C-alpha cells in the first residue's frame, strides 16, 4: 500500500468510550429509580439511621435473654400439644447457642437448672417477673425506634403522639412474642427434623420450608411497616421496603458471618466478649436493614403519594 492510498482512505470514526460512559451515566442519574436511591441515602443521613440502628440493637440485646425465657415459659404448658421431643429439641438448641455466650460453669450451674424449671410443665414459673417486665420494656423500646422513624420519614411525625406510639410499640412486641411461640420451634427444629417427623411429606418439606420462612419474614416486615404508618395505606405499598430489608439482611449477615469467622477466632484478643460482640453486630445489621427498608417506602410514597398521605400532609 502506497502513501497516496493511505491519504485517500476515509478516516475512521474516533472512539470516545469515556464520552459514551458519561452519556449512559447521565441517563441513569436522570431516571426515577436513581432519584429514589439518592433520596433514600439522603434520608438515612438526615435521620441518623446508623445511630438509631445502634439504639434499637442495644435495647434488643437487653431484652433478648428474658425474651427467650418468656418464650420458653409460654411453650412449657404446650408440651402435651407439641410433644416432649420438640421441647427437648428446643432445650438442646438453646443450650447449644448459649455455649457461644457463656462459660461451661455458667451453663451447668445456672442456665441448665433454669431451663429445666422453665420447661417443666409441673412447675409454676411466673411469667410476670422482673426480668420479663424488663424484656417487655426494652423490646417495646426497640420497636419504638422503628415506629417513630417511619412516622417521621413519611412526614407524619405529628399525627401520632408519644403515648400512642409507645402503646403501639408495646402491642407490636406482644404480637412478636406470640409469633415467636409459633416460629421458634420451627426454626430450631429445622428442615432435617421436620423431614424425619413427616417422612411421607419429606419432598414437600424440602420444597416449602425456605419459601415459607422467606415469605413469612416479608409478611412480618410488611405488617410492621403498614401498622407504623400513621395513615392507612394499601399493603402492597410496603412490600418494596420489606423485600429490600430482607435482601440487605441476608447479604449483610453473610458478610458478617465471614468476617467474624476470621476476626473472632478462638484465640481472639476479645476473649469472652467475642460472642456478645457478634450478637450485638447481628442485631445492629438487622435494625439497620429494617430502617433502610422503611426509608425506601417513605421515599416511594413521597414520589408517588397515596391519597391518604397526600391529604394528611
Asked, for residue 150, whether it belongs to a domain, the answer is yes
Asked, for residue 56, whether it belongs to a domain, the answer is yes
Note the pLDDT tens digit of each residue in 41-60.
Answer: 898 899 889 999 998 888 88
Residue 303 confidence (pLDDT) above 70: yes
CA angle 61, 64, 67 (to 5 degrees): 150
Task: Give the residue, 297 or 160, on which the prediction is more confident.
Answer: 297
Query: pTM here?
Result: 0.74
Asked, for residue 26, whether it belongs to a domain, the answer is no
- How much is the pLDDT for 145? 87
Asked, for residue 11, whether it belongs to a domain, the answer is no
Q: Name the residue range of residue 74's domain.
A: 48-312
Asked, for residue 157, whether it belongs to a domain, the answer is yes
Query: Phi-psi bin for 155: left (phi > 0), alpha (psi -120 to 50), beta?
Result: left
Note the pLDDT tens digit of each residue in 187-207.
Answer: 666 666 667 667 777 778 778
Asked, for residue 133, whether it belongs to a domain, the answer is yes
Asked, for residue 21, whether it belongs to a domain, the answer is no
CB 71 within 8 A of CB 181: yes
Note the pLDDT tens digit of each residue in 1-17.
Answer: 454 554 555 555 445 55
Q: How many structural domains is the chain composed of?
A: 1
Residue 238 confidence (pLDDT) above 70: yes
Residue 81 confidence (pLDDT) above 70: no
Asked, for residue 136, whether it belongs to a domain, the answer is yes
Residue 65: CA count within 13 A, CB half-sphere = 13
Amino acid at each position: 500500500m502506497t502513501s497516496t492510498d493511505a491519504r485517500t482512505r476515509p478516516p475512521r470514526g474516533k472512539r470516545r468510550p469515556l464520552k459514551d460512559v458519561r452519556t449512559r451515566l447521565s441517563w441513569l442519574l436522570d431516571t426515577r429509580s436513581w432519584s429514589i436511591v439518592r433520596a433514600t441515602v439522603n434520608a438515612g443521613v438526615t435521620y441518623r439511621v446508623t445511630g438509631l440502628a445502634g439504639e434499637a440493637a442495644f435495647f434488643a440485646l437487653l431484652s433478648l435473654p428474658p425474651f427467650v425465657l418468656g418464650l420458653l415459659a409460654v411453650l412449657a404448658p404446650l408440651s402435651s400439644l407439641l410433644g416432649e421431643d420438640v421441647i427437648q429439641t428446643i432445650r438442646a438448641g438453646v443450650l447449644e447457642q448459649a455455649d457461644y455466650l457463656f462459660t461451661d460453669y455458667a451453663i451447668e450451674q445456672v442456665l441448665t437448672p433454669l431451663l429445666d424449671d422453665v420447661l417443666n410443665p409441673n412447675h409454676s414459673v411466673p411469667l410476670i417477673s422482673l426480668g420479663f417486665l424488663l424484656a417487655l420494656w426494652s423490646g417495646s423500646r426497640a420497636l419504638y425506634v422503628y415506629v417513630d422513624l417511619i412516622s417521621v420519614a413519611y412526614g407524619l411525625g405529628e399525627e401520632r403522639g408519644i403515648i400512642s406510639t409507645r402503646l403501639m410499640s408495646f402491642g407490636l412486641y406482644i404480637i412478636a412474642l406470640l409469633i415467636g411461640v409459633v416460629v421458634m420451634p420451627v426454626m430450631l427444629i429445622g428442615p432435617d427434623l421436620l423431614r424425619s417427623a413427616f417422612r411421607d411429606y419429606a419432598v414437600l418439606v424440602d420444597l416449602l420450608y425456605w419459601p415459607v420462612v422467606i415469605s413469612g419474614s416479608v409478611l412480618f416486615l410488611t405488617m410492621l411497616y403498614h401498622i407504623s404508618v400513621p395513615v392507612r395505606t394499601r399493603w402492597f405499598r410496603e412490600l418494596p421496603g420489606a423485600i429490600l430489608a430482607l435482601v440487605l439482611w441476608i447479604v449483610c449477615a453473610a458478610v458478617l458471618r465471614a468476617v467474624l469467622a476470621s476476626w473472632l477466632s478462638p484465640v481472639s484478643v476479645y476473649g469472652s466478649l467475642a460472642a456478645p460482640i457478634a450478637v450485638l453486630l447481628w442485631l445492629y445489621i438487622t435494625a439497620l436493614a429494617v430502617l433502610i427498608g422503611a426509608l425506601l417506602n417513605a421515599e416511594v410514597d413521597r414520589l408517588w403519594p397515596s391519597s391518604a398521605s397526600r391529604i394528611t400532609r
